[in-house]
Structure 1
Amino acid sequence: MEAQDFELLIGQNIIQRYHSDSTRPDVFELLGREWDLLDDVWPPAYSPGGELYAHLIPFHEMSAFLEMGCGTGIMSVLAALAGTERVLGLDINPAAVRNTELNAKRHGVADRVTARVSDLYSAVEPGERFDGIYWNPPFLNAPADVVDSSIWHETMFDPAYAKMRHFLRAGRELLNPGGRAYLWFGEALGNPTLISDLADETGYELHVLTKIEMSEIPEALVDAFPGDLVGGDENEYAAWHLHLLELKPR
């Protein structure tokens, strides 16, 4: 099976897994805190990401921070709790914007956190600049002709990594001097040099803050992966390589 077709299959299965989950909670626990979870927002409890390593991001040195694809708003809230004075969460999903606002209120940082509906940077206002920009982006490079504009396809797929390129290129213009971009990215299903190649292409120096190699699929998602395509030492799709990356403009 071609890599793009495999990634399409996995993404479709994960979306179906989400829609068929009758046990999805309205409130979940992560990092020792409780978080609100609205319908039509990706549940971080399924497969926690960069928020588990938020302590590696120097929020305390930032006066302004932007979280792209804020979802439930965990990273935005953590930045505000760490002392960042102005936090902006952006998401194409209106439910995610509401969810971020709810969690900012729940954790007492609503005065520091603003959330807006945005297609990538479209809702950034003129003159806004940031010391840090973070994204947990779509990992899957599905064929463009089968990807639609639904919230779940937007969340799951990035054909030819066009969104990633725009995030990096346009983000350079939104960073204050000395600012950094941060990515939580999984190079599990395709090109292991993708991010370093994109960093070179868009003018960043790349630093790996943490790298995790997993030989097993996250338990909450294991049934989304075809049994004959996971596991086994020789299977090219079996290993997950997850990174929290810091990117400094050259």
Structure 2
Amino acid sequence: METRDFELLIGQNIIDKYHSDSGRPDVFELVGLEWDLLDDVWPPSYSPGGELFADLIPFASMSSFLEMGCGTGIMSVLAARAGVERVIGLDINPAAVRNTGMNAERHGVADRVTARESDLYSAVGPDERFDGLYWNPPFLNAPEDRVDTSIWHETMFDPEYAKMRRFLSEGRELLTTRGRAYLWFGEALGNPALVGDLAEETGYELDVLKKIEMSEIPDALADAFPADLVGGEGGQHAAWHLHLLELSPR
């Protein structure tokens, strides 16, 4: 099977797993806090991302921050709780926009966090600039002719990493002079070498703030993967590496 067809299969299996999961909670716990979860919003408890290492992002030096693909709004809320005065969360999914607003209210930062429905940066004003941009992007490079415009395909797939290229190239113009972009990205699923190529192409220096190894797939997603990927020889799981990346404009 071609690599991109395999990534399409895995992504669709994960989507189907989500839709068949009748036990998703309305409230979940992550980073020591409770969060509201609406239907049709990706549950971070399935596969936590860069919010686990939010303390590595220098929020104390920021007055403005943008979270792309805000989902439940965890990183937006953490940024506001860390003192960022103006936080914008963007998501193509209207349920995610509502969910981010709910969690901003829950954690007392609704005066600092604004969520907007947006196709990448379409809802950003012409004069808005940010000290930080963050995205936990789609990892899967599925074939373009097999991907549709549904919320779940938008969430899961990025053919030829076109969205990633736009996030970096258009985002560069939205950064202040001290601004930085941050990405949570993985290997095994995802291609971090390509992120380095895109950083070079779009004019950034790339630094790895955190690299972690996962020895197993999250339980909630394990049956979305073929058995030979989930378990190796002697029942050992293959190692996955996940990265929190900082990109500084040259």
SS in 2 for 1:213: strand
In structure 1, distance between residues paired with 2:128 and 2:44: 28
Aligned to 2:95: 95
Aligned match of 2:106: 106
Q: 1:156 to 1:190 in 2, by over 3 A?
A: closer
Counterpart code for 1:169? S
**For residue 57 of structure 1, what is the amino acid of its counterpart?**
I
CA distance in 1, matches of 2:102, 2:172: 30
Equivalent residues of 2:80, 2:86 under 8 A apart: yes
Describe the superposition over 1:91-117 as per-residue Cα deviations: whole angstroms up to 9, x where unpaired: 000000000000000000000000000
* CA deviation map 1:180-219 (0-9, x unaligned): 0000011223544111111111110000000012232122
Q: Which residue of 2 aligns with 1:199?
A: 199
Matched, 1:29 2:29: yes
Write out per-residue CA displacement over residues 143-181 of structure 1, whole angstroms, 9 at most, x where no aligned residue. Answer: 000100000000000000000000000000000001000
8 Å contact kept, 2:72–2:103: yes
Q: Is the 8 A contact 2:186 2:192 kept in 1?
A: no
Any idea what SS the aligned residue of 2:166 has? helix
Give deviations 1:28-51, integer Å, cap 9, x for gaps: 011111100001000000110100
Residue matched to 1:216:
216
State the SS of the aligned residue for 1:87. Answer: strand
2:8 equivalent to 1:8: yes
Q: 1:3 to 1:215 in 2, by over 3 A?
A: farther
Letter in 1 for 2:111: D
> Is the partner of 2:45 in helix, strand or coil?
helix
What does residue range 61-210 of structure 1 map to in structure 2 within 5 Å? Answer: 61-189=61-189, 191-210=191-210
Q: What's the offset of the Cα at 1:27? A: 0.5
Change over 3 Å in CA distance of 1:191–1:48 after alignment to 2 = closer
Q: What residue is the counterpart of 1:20 in the other structure?
A: 20
Task: Tell me the secondary structure at the aligned position of residue 22 of structure 2.
Answer: coil
The secondary structure found in structure 1 opposite 2:115 is strand
- How many pairs are equivalent? 247
Instruction: Pick which of 207-216 and 24-33 moved more.
Output: 207-216
- Between stretches 52-61 and 213-222, larger displacement belongs to 213-222
**Secondary structure of 1:44's match?**
coil
Which residue in the other structure is 1:245 paired with?
Answer: 245
Percent sequence identity is 82
**Using the alignment, how far apart are the partners of 2:182 and 2:245 within structure 1?**
5
Query: TM-score, normalised on structure 2?
Result: 0.96
Is the contact between residue 188 and residue 242 of structure 1 (CA under 8 Å) also seen in structure 2? Answer: no
Q: Mind listing any 5+ residue stretches in structure 2 that lack a counterpart?
A: none
| Counterpart-to-counterpart distance in 2, 1:239 and 1:122 | 37
The SS at the match of 1:193 is helix
Contact kept in structure 2, 1:3 and 1:189, CA below 8 Å: no
Supply the distance in 2 between the matched residues of 1:11 and 1:51 (Cα, whole angstroms).
Answer: 22
Cα RMSD (Å) of the superposition? 1.2
Q: Secondary structure at the match of 1:183?
A: strand
Relative to the length of structure 1, the TM-score reads: 0.96
CA gap of 1:83–1:191, structure 2 versus 1, over 3 A, is closer
Alignment gaps of 5+ in structure 1: none
Q: Which amino acid aligns with 2:152?
A: W
